[in-house]
Amino acid sequence: MYVTIPTEKEALGRQIKLGTKPQAAGGATFKAGAYLYFEGDPVERLYAVKSGVLRLTRLLLDGRRQVIAFGYPGDIVGFPSDGLHHTDCDVLVETRVVAYPRSVLENPKADPLLHQELLQAALREIAAMQDHFLMLGRKSAAERVASFLHALSERVGEDFGPCRRVSLPMSRVDIADFLGLTTETVSRSLTQMRKANVIAINNIHTVVILRPEALLGMSEGHGILAA
């Protein structure tokens, strides 16, 4: 899951339907904290996330970390490059996946329909990452956090009275490492939005979006509008 405003809307109508042969390919459930794979591992399968949340990370030698993406239902994770995984992948919330052998992606003949689905998923991934570049390269801290909440709201938010509720299963460190910030800055940005009545923070891991338009505005770089 990447976080951007412009193209996210396009993703809404389009739920990937990869369940064509679930039992044949094999489904599995992973508990929180489990690793699906590590950077450098040879790729054996791709995973279609059915429920739960995954975390894809990369590390720099000195320990600096970048969260590359969060894997939400509908996402495909584990694309190989030169046959290898290029991130670590672990589980934030117990996750059900359907696994497909790498050959389905790389050999069209085995299952043409599925091959096509996985290819399209890879292409969407490229476009989503391009959007994410804009965020990391060109957005302020407040804009990043707002973009993040907005995208999550669109993607996995639930209705909550007249508002929208978003669950944040990941830690503040994860959010920071995803957005290229520090936890302190993430925290301050959230506080700022709370004080402007854009969001309410029920529980540390649950945010209610009180004024979606204001949030969207912030994510696009208009300052904070008071309630």
Partner DNA sequence: CGGGTTCTTGACTATCTTCAACGAAAGTGG
Partner DNA sequence: CCACTTTCGTTGAAGATAGTCAAGAACCCG
| 194 three-class SS | helix
203 makes contact with DNA (CB under 7 A)? yes
CB of 182 to a copy of itself, least distance (A): 11
Give the DSSP letter string of 79-143: --BTTB--SEEEEEEEEEEEEEEHHHHH-TTT-HHHHHHHHHHHHHHHHHHHHHHHHHHH--HHH
Among 180, 197, 200, 217, binds DNA (CB under 7 A): 180
Q: How many residues of this chain bind a copy of itself (CB under 8 A)?
A: 46
Among 151, 181, 193, 215, binds DNA (CB under 7 A): 181
Q: Under rule CB under 7 A, which residues in 76-105 are in contact with DNA?
A: none
For 32, the token pair is 């929180």
Among 14, 31, 205, 222, binds DNA (CB under 7 A): 205
61 makes contact with a copy of itself (CB under 8 A)? yes
101 touches which of a copy of itself, DNA, none (CB within 5 to 8 A by kind)?
none
Q: Under rule CB under 7 A, which residues in 160-179 are in contact with DNA?
A: 171-173
27 makes contact with DNA (CB under 7 A)? no
* 209 strand-pairing partners: 164, 199
Residue window 62-91: x/- pattern of binding to a copy of itself, with contact defined by CB under 8 A: x-xxx-x----------xxxx---xx----
What single-letter amino acid sits at 170?
Answer: M
User: Which residues, in sequence order, are CB contacts of 15 under 8 Å at separation 6+?
Assistant: 74
115 makes contact with a copy of itself (CB under 8 A)? yes
66 makes contact with DNA (CB under 7 A)? no
| 149 three-class SS | helix
Strand order in the sheet with 163-167: 158-160, 163-167, 206-209, 199-203
For 77, the token pair is 């994770």
CB of 114 to DNA, least distance (A): 37
Contact positions vs DNA (CB under 7 A): 140-142, 171-173, 180-188, 190-191, 201, 203-205
